[in-house]
Amino acid sequence: MVAKTARRAEAATMRPFGTFPPEVLRGIDFVLTDIDDTLTTDGRLPSIAYGALEHLQEAGVRVVPVTGRPAGWCDLIARLWPVDAVVGENGAFYFALERGGGMARVFSQSDEKRREDRRKLDDLAAAILAGVPGARISADQQFREADLAIDFAEDVPRLADSEIDRIVTCFEDAGAVAKVSSIHVNGWFGRYDKLEMTRRLFAERYGLDLDEEKHRVIFVGDSPNDAPMFGFFDNSVGVANFAEFCDMVATPPKWITHEAGGAGFAEVADAVLRARV
């Protein structure tokens, strides 16, 4: 109860995004964004969010989705969406379409390590489903390279918080990392996360030290697995539906939008674009 009270107090310090300093927005060259319930609304990608991605790209702002979604989806996103690169499976890799054609695929772990971990995750999946009867393997699991995604709210009725906690405990008792998104619990073996792979992306693709250049970046997210990004970036923004997770996130975003989901992302993108005029 004390921990939840402290988290609510931290969340209460989030400032309305409408008060974000224009002089800081003028210096933004990179927009990093979660996908589910940040770009999407009720499970769909609305035109207002996709249009915002296009407008940012046209203005020369680099956009990088940083998501828990699988490698198969991220390959498509990197190829077809107006984005510069994609960090996927909570930091297991980044993909980027090269100018001359072909896809750069950079993984945190070797092929051999991912195969070894897959065997352990398959065993763990059976144990989780037996221990939490309402849980299901996520529909996108077959497209994943490095993690196991347990669905608690996407294609099943939302599970109780206590059942979500049990899923997390199953992962952690097996020595895996577990992160909660708005729809899945993702688990993997290895100590990478969204922030670590984003650092690597910036160093290898842009030749930038993220610690020195983070003032040029704004991050938009919505859920507990975004906590490393919220904690690191001074320009971290939660879309309005982040409020549902205040009790679960030790490091909330610094700012919060008026609108939820894709409209909240568009609110951020519009502000960035207006500041550049």
Residue 11 has pLDDT above 70, yes or no: no
- Residue range 223-241, pLDDT digits in tens: 999 999 999 999 999 999 9
Q: Which pLDDT score is estimated for 99?
A: 83
Architecture of domain 111-188: Alpha-Beta Complex (3.90)
Identical fold for domains 2-108+192-276 and 111-188, yes or no, is: no
- Residue range 59-112, pLDDT digits in tens: 999 999 999 999 999 999 999 999 999 999 999 999 999 988 899 999 999 999
Q: What DSSP character marks residue 26?
A: T
Q: Classify domain 2-108+192-276 by CATH number.
A: 3.40.50.1000
Does the predicted TM-score (pTM) go above 0.85? yes
CA gap 127, 190 in Å, rounded? 20
Q: Answer whether 154's CB lies under 8 Å from 43's CB.
A: yes
Q: Kindly list the domain boundaries of the chain, sorted by start residue.
A: 2-108+192-276, 111-188
Q: Answer whether 187's CB lies under 8 Å from 171's CB.
A: yes
Nearest Cα to Cα of residue 85 among 202, 246, 221, 250:
202
Find the DSSP H helices in the chain.
2-11, 22-25, 47-58, 71-80, 111-131, 161-173, 194-205, 210-213, 227-232, 261-276
